[in-house]
Amino acid sequence: MFIIMAGGHYALIPIATQNLAQVGFDNLMMTGLLPGNMAMAGAAFAIAMRTKSNGYKQYSISAAVTALLGVSQPALYGVAIPIKKAMTAIIIGGFIGGLYAGIVGVKGFALSDPGLAALPAYISPDGSWGNFINTLITMVIAFGMTFAFTYFGSYEELSQEEIEEITVNQ
C-alpha cells in the first residue's frame, strides 16, 4: 500500500518483465500486489456496509469493485487514508494473504494488473491447477481477513465535510 502511495509500484514492472523473460513467471509484483488489492477491496466493502452516508456507501462500493479488478487507488485514497483503522486492517489482511502466497509459492505467468480480471495469468502453463487454487486462497484470505477486521473493528463515521471532499474531489 505504501509503495502504491508513492508510485513506486511502477518500478517493479521492469523486474517482473525480466522475471517473466528469464524464468517464465513472476513471484514479486504479481504475488505481492494481489493480496494488497484484495485487502483494499475487503476494507472498502466493509466500510460500505457500515457507513450511514449513502454517498460514501456508493463511493466505497465502486472503490471496492475497482480494487477487485486490479485498480486500488480509489480504495486507497478514498477509504484507507481517511479511515486509519481501515488502513491498519488492510496492512494486516494484506500481510497475512501475502504471507500465505509466499509460503505456497504463488506465481504469475503473465504481466497484468493484480485482480479478478488477471486470474488467467495465474494458471500454470504446464496445465496444473495448484498455483491457480493457491491464488484463489490468497485472495480469499486477504479479502476475508481485512473485511472482518474492518467490519467488526471499531469505526468512526467520517464527517459530512470529509465525505464530500472524498466523493466530490475524486
Query: How high does pLDDT run on average in the chain?
Result: 91
Specify the pLDDT at position 159: 79
Give the DSSP letter of residue 26: B
Q: What is the pLDDT of residues 93-119, one digit of tens each?
A: 999 999 999 999 999 999 988 899 999
More confident residue, 26 or 6: 26
Q: What is the pLDDT of residues 44-71, one digit of tens each?
A: 999 999 998 898 999 999 999 999 999 9
Side chain identity at residue 85, one-letter code: K
Q: Which residues contact 64 (CB under 8 A, 6 or more apart)?
A: 40, 41, 42, 44, 45, 48, 75
In the chain, count H helices and then E strands: 8, 0
Tally the domains of the chain. Answer: 1
466530490: which residue's cell?
A: 168
Distance CA 79, CA 64 (A): 9
Domain assignment present for 26? no
Domain assignment present for 96? yes
Q: Is 108 helix (H, G, I), strand (E, B) or coil?
A: strand
Domain assignment present for 126? yes
Residue 125 pLDDT greater than 80, yes or no: yes
Domain assignment present for 99? yes
Side chain identity at residue 125, one-letter code: P
Domain assignment present for 52? yes
The sign of the dihedral angle between the CA atoms of 158, 159, 161, 163 is positive
Of 39-43, 46-50, 61-65, 150-154, which range is least confident? 150-154
Domain assignment present for 58? yes
Domain assignment present for 131? yes
**Can you give the residue range of the structural domain that contains 112?**
36-163
Specify the pLDDT at position 132: 97
Using pLDDT thresholds of 50, 70 and 90, give the confidence band for residue 161. confident
Domain assignment present for 20? no
